[in-house]
Amino acid sequence: MTSATATHQSISPDTQKALEFSRTYKEEQLKEVVEFLRIPSVSTLPDRAVDVAAAAKWLALQMDRSGLENVQVIQTKGHPLVYGDWLHAGPDSPTVLVYGHYDVQPPDPLDLWNSPPFKPSIHDDYIYARGASDDKGQLYVHIKSVESYLKSAGRLPVNVKFIIEGEEEIGGKSLEAFVPENTQLLAADTVVVSDTHIAGRDQPSIVYALRGMCYVFLDVAGPARDLHSGSYGGAINNPLNALGHIIARLKDEEGHILIPGFYEQVRILTREERHLIAKSGHDESAWLADTGAPKAWGEPEFTLLERIGARPTLDVNGLIGGYTDSGAKTILPSKAHAKISMRLVPDQDPGDIFAKFQDYVRSCAPDTVKVECTYFHGAQPCIIDRKLPEMQAAAMAYERVFGKQPIYMREGGSIPVISLFQQYLGLQTVLMGFGLADDHIHSPNERMYLPNFYRGIETVIHYLDILGSSADATLSGEDR
Ligand code: BES
Ligand code: MN
Ligand code: MN
């Protein structure tokens, strides 16, 4: 343990006040989250751009009301960013950069929701709505923690900066362009993000690795128009069949990816890390039951958690082509399309993987069709040092509120900006999640467990306290 744990067991009077404030205003906090969740800020749908902008504006107003300063909605080529700060803790105090995203995934299929996705409803301690857990609910935790300090003690134990984006769910370019151009504005000592889940309601966890992404479109073109499948079938190659053949050659039946060199950069798991992953106490049968799939699947030489957190993937996300309306139509379609995502692990690089994908697909494609690969978006994978002093501070904060030490997990999802903070600001991120694995993010009936929304606020209050009081010992100077 670092000096953070050794020397600062006591809770400061300001922190006491902040905790009391946060407990007093639970109802208001919830009301605000409900308002936030009512705004359908679906970043991928052009028709929702107005709502995305409204969410940014609403958020900025709430940040301002919560006591943050210099709050601005920053226009970009895409959806706006929201910035705010409070920088009066003094030059010796660390600066914490808080990141989150206010955009959400599309809510469809709508008929599978038990209540409308943008009319939040509360049942059995859960709030149900698109974005409840990913990421509006989790992001709001930070705003209310800061408010709790500012409205009770009148100050924060650390300096804070918030940068919130509206394009996370679409791998957007706006924040990617903003970070390198605004390194002064975003300069900080550490980053904290709540956009992951913990192992169980009462079992906190810190995510120390996220997968990266290489998303590609694969387009196959055959004849110039749809052709009669009787007059031409057997004599002209069918782009849908050809696409099927190409896809079948990308992976074997056990899930190994067949692209030459695909695994070249994959960091080999150490025995120590495999052990750490194994002892997380993951309930595989509950996990499987929640998915509804008949059986788990994947590379047999890796455990389930290793497959999700430490191994790369290749998945077809969507197939487009041919006749899909009711009844039958006898054609050879002119075109076929696939959307394919590859989740990457350290030290794979999305550009390198795309090149390998493209070379291999070209080598598999017959000359009877035209095949085109397009790089749609990507993200670097990330891994964070578990011995980082901020990790220890986060562990201590979780323990104070949940009464349990957090476990350390790798996660399969991606948060593209984390590697940019590493690359351009030289900052490590603590992924301090408050969601749960069965929150149904990106699925119908997304939800957040409300007791952990409130515990989240308290955990962040403690985290800022610990960071502030251990400034001299761990967060500034030689350690960093
Ligand atoms: N919050 C998720 C990332 C996540 C998912 C972390 C599950 C931990 C567990 C994030 O909002 C997300 O969905 N990211 C996208 C990024 C992609 C579009 C580049 C993802 O992972 O698909
Ligand atoms: Mn998210
Ligand atoms: Mn998401």
Distance from the alpha carbon of residue 416 to the mean position of ligand 2, in angstroms: 10
**207 CA: nearest ligand 1 atom:** 8
Residue 295, pLDDT score: 97
Question: Looking at the predicted structure, is the pLDDT value of residue 479 above 60?
Answer: no
The chain-wide mean pLDDT, for the chain, equals 95
Q: What is the mean pLDDT of residues 128-139?
A: 98
Q: Which of 415, 436, 439 to mutate to test the pocket of ligand 1 (most atoms within 8 A of CB)?
A: 415
Per-residue pLDDT tens for 58-103? 999 999 999 999 999 999 999 999 999 999 999 899 999 999 999 9
Identify the pLDDT of residue 470. Answer: 81
pLDDT tens-digit series, residues 436-476: 999 999 999 999 999 999 999 999 999 999 999 985 545 54
Please report where in the chains the tokens 């009391």 appear, as a residue. 20
**Mean pLDDT across the stretch 389-410?**
97
Alpha carbon nearest to ligand 1 atom 7, residue? 413
What is the per-residue pLDDT for 10?
81
Q: Is the pLDDT of residue 477 over 50?
A: no
Express each pLDDT in 254-313 by its tens digit: 999 999 999 999 999 999 999 999 988 889 999 999 999 999 999 999 999 999 999 999
Residues with CB under 6 A from ligand 1: 134-135, 168-169, 171, 195-196, 213, 379, 411, 413-416
pLDDT tens string 212-256: 999 999 999 999 999 999 999 999 999 999 999 999 999 999 999
Which residue is associated with the tokens 């074997």? 252
Q: Which of 441, 443, 448 to mutate to test the pocket of ligand 1 (most atoms within 8 A of CB)?
A: 441
Q: Is the pLDDT of residue 394 over 50?
A: yes
Q: Are 31 and 138 in contact (CB under 8 A)?
A: no
pLDDT, tens digit (0-9, with 9 covering 90-100), for 324-340: 999 999 999 999 999 99
Percent of the chain with pLDDT over 90: 94
Taking residues 143-154, what's their average pLDDT? 98
Q: Give the pLDDT score at 471.
A: 59
Contacts 24+ apart (CB under 8 A), 2-6: 2/389, 2/392, 2/470, 2/473, 2/474, 3/470, 3/473, 3/474, 4/389, 4/392, 4/393, 4/396, 4/466, 4/470, 4/473, 4/474, 5/392, 5/396
pLDDT of residue 280: 85
Rounded to two decimals, what is the model's pTM?
0.93
